[in-house]
Amino acid sequence: MARSWSLEGGLKLKNMFGYADVWDGSVSYGWDQTTEVSTGVSLPRMKKWPSPVFARASLLSQDWQKFSSYKEQALGFGLGLLSTRNHELAYNLTWRNLTDPSQMAGDSVRRQLGHSLLSTLKYTFKIDKRNSSLRPTRGYAFSSTTLFAGLSPDSRSARFLRQECDFRYALPLGFYNTALNLGVSGGVIFPWGKGFLDRPSSLPDRFFIGGNTSPVCSLGGPSSVLGFKCRGLGPTELRRRSKDQPDGDGDSSVASERDAVGGDLGVSAFADLSFDLPLKALREAGIHGHIFASTGNLVKLTENEWRKLSTKSFMQSFRSSVGCGLIVPTKLFRLEVNYCHIMRQFEHDHGKTGVQFSFSSPL
């Protein structure tokens, strides 16, 4: 999912019980009304186990009413089974509840309201040979994440397979510390079981594109096309009409509002040319400029939507933007002040030509 800015705080305690254990707690609040409270423990390598073992409990609340007419509350427990430089394997058990306080959600959202159990096994393979995650000027990175959900006999357990791939390449050009960054990301999700393509995929686990995250820093699947708002790109459906709203077209904004419902297949790509600025003070502070182009697309595959999809229609429905801006890298985050020009969008997308601020954390 795409998130916007957030404030985070944490506390870490080491060796509380004398076994080289590490305990931590964190709280985060996002401007998109995302609140997360979590606590975890990490134990050192035990006997012949190849990596440390960690466990984490979390309480997550997300308000997506502005974009998709639902709220999500999730209570989860995660257990890290393997964690090395290139490989991660984790099990997560989450009890999730989707609600519609406004009673305005469209059909796709209403069908998935209520409680569900999410039991998943997640494997991530990652290689990052770039010289920096905030301003890469040489090297490459690759990430592949496979998530298998449905490891529970409970009938309310969501069952799906989600696959993400991401590739980044940074090429130095040899003057003014100029570098060309290229990236392409893709992801697919579909339910498993009998007649899986006839059923809808899990709504909160679909792909959503948009928001203020820099595509240069993000690694792990399609997530951002600069210039588009959070969940501002991809399939939508009309929300229900208010009881106070008369039938007909009318002039109510409620009647024209739509829910972003995400996609089962997502692809995004970007090209970013970064360079030093002529002022010495800016170069010493790490402040530099860039010119970029980004594109992406989301489509549905489930509920037999794959029958309507063709290579031509998929390629013709890509959205795109170009722009330029200033980048201020720090030890904590990367700040971008960009001017974005929307090259292509469709009727129900939320892209806007103008200045956009982007905050991204290092990987």
Q: How far apart are CA 180 and CA 127, in angstroms?
A: 19
Q: Lowest-pLDDT range, 46-55, 154-163, 342-351?
A: 46-55
Q: What does pTM read for this prediction?
A: 0.84
Task: Domain ranges for the chain, please list them.
Answer: 85-241+253-360
Per-residue model confidence (pLDDT) at position 30 = 63
What is the DSSP code (8-state) at residue 157?
B
Q: Using an 8 Å Cβ cutoff, are 340 and 220 in contact?
A: no
The rounded distance, in Å, linking the Cα atoms of 320 and 335 is 22
Quick one: which of 246, 338, 291, 262 has its CA closest to 109? 262
User: Token digits for 153?
Assistant: 């006999």
User: Quick check: 68 pLDDT over 80?
Assistant: yes
pLDDT reported for residue 254: 39
Please state which of the ranges 68-72, 226-230, 252-256 shows the lowest mean pLDDT.
252-256
Better-predicted residue by pLDDT, 78 or 29: 78
Confidence of residue 197 (pLDDT cuts 50, 70, 90): low
The DSSP symbol for 324 reads E
Instruction: Measure CA 18 to chain center.
Output: 38
- Are 262 and 235 spatial neighbours (Cβ–Cβ below 8 Å)? yes
How many whole angstroms separate alpha carbon 251 and alpha carbon 198? 36
- Cα 68 to Cα 54: distance, rounded to the nearest angstrom: 34
Is the pLDDT at 354 greater than 90, yes or no? yes
Gap between the Cα atoms of 189 and 287, Å rounded: 39
Higher pLDDT, 271 or 153: 271
Q: For residues 350 and 323, is the Cβ–Cβ distance under 8 A?
A: no
pLDDT band at 252 (very low <50, low <70, confident <90, very high): very low
In this prediction, what percent of the chain has a pLDDT beyond 90? 44
pLDDT above 70 (res 9): no
* End-to-end Cα distance, the chain: 16
The distance of Cα 349 from the centroid of its chain, to the nearest Å, equals 18
Predicted local distance difference test score (pLDDT) of residue 183: 94
Cβ partners under 8 Å of residue 69, min gap 6: 100, 102, 104, 105, 106, 109, 239, 259
Note the pLDDT of residue 361: 66
Q: Looking at residue 87, what is its pLDDT?
A: 92
Class of the CATH domain delimited by 85-241+253-360: mainly beta
Closest CA to 360 of 272, 276, 300, 275: 272
Q: Vertex 263, ends 259 and 267: CA angle to 5°?
A: 130
Predicted confidence at residue 15, as pLDDT, reads 65
Average predicted confidence (pLDDT) for the chain:
84
Cα–Cα distances in Å, from 159 out to 61, 144, 152, 221?
A: 22, 20, 9, 20
* pLDDT tens sequence across 267-317: 999 999 999 998 999 888 889 999 999 999 999 998 888 888 888 999 999
Between 251 and 337, the more confident residue is 337
Higher pLDDT, 101 or 30: 101
pLDDT in tens, 334-343: 888 999 999 9
* pLDDT, mean of residues 163-171: 95
State percent of the chain over pLDDT 70: 85
